[in-house]
Amino acid sequence: MTLTDFRSHPARRREPARRLPAYGAQLASRLREGFEPAHGIAVWIDTPPSLRGICAPLAVFADTDPAALDWSQCHRRDVFIARADSVTPERLQATVAAITAAKPRRLLLLRASPPFCTLLIPGKGAR
């Protein structure tokens, strides 16, 4: 009879914990308290967020790969990417792909010029 080391079994391996986006710790704390962002989550790319907005802010800065972050807070919530026209298309595409993997309810790109809003993931009915 051979002993099996179950600690190395593939089913027990976990990915290393991913880091939350900037301002994600504050949002996680509020979510644990039962707060639900009524107007959704605003994601700011390479720009400090406006902390006076009506959406809960998250940010990804230039020194961070969006795919390396934990976007689970966006799951089943409305997500807006603010100032989507002010970042490079590659950076925007990487961020959209990372957020889309978290399966948000809606994903919108907000721009300063026409078209002002692009709906990437339409909502599917009421909450």
pLDDT higher than threshold 90 for residue 127? no
The two structure tokens encoding residue 4? 């099996």
Q: Which residues pair with 81 in a beta bridge?
A: 43, 109
The pLDDT score that the predictor gives to residue 18 is 87
Residue 109, SS3 per DSSP:
strand
Q: Which residue has the higher pLDDT, 87 or 6?
A: 87
Q: How many CB atoms lie within 10 A of CB 81?
A: 24
Contact between residue 64 and residue 49 where contact means Cβ atoms under 8 Å apart: no
- Per-residue pLDDT tens over the stretch 85-120: 999 999 999 999 999 999 999 999 999 999 999 999
Q: How confident is the model at residue 126 (pLDDT cuts 50, 70, 90)?
A: very low
- Per-residue pLDDT tens over the stretch 21-77: 999 999 999 999 999 998 999 999 999 998 788 899 999 999 999 999 999 999 999
Distance of alpha carbon 27 from alpha carbon 73, whole angstroms: 8
The two structure tokens encoding residue 91? 């950076």
pTM: 0.82
Distance of alpha carbon 27 from alpha carbon 34, whole angstroms: 11
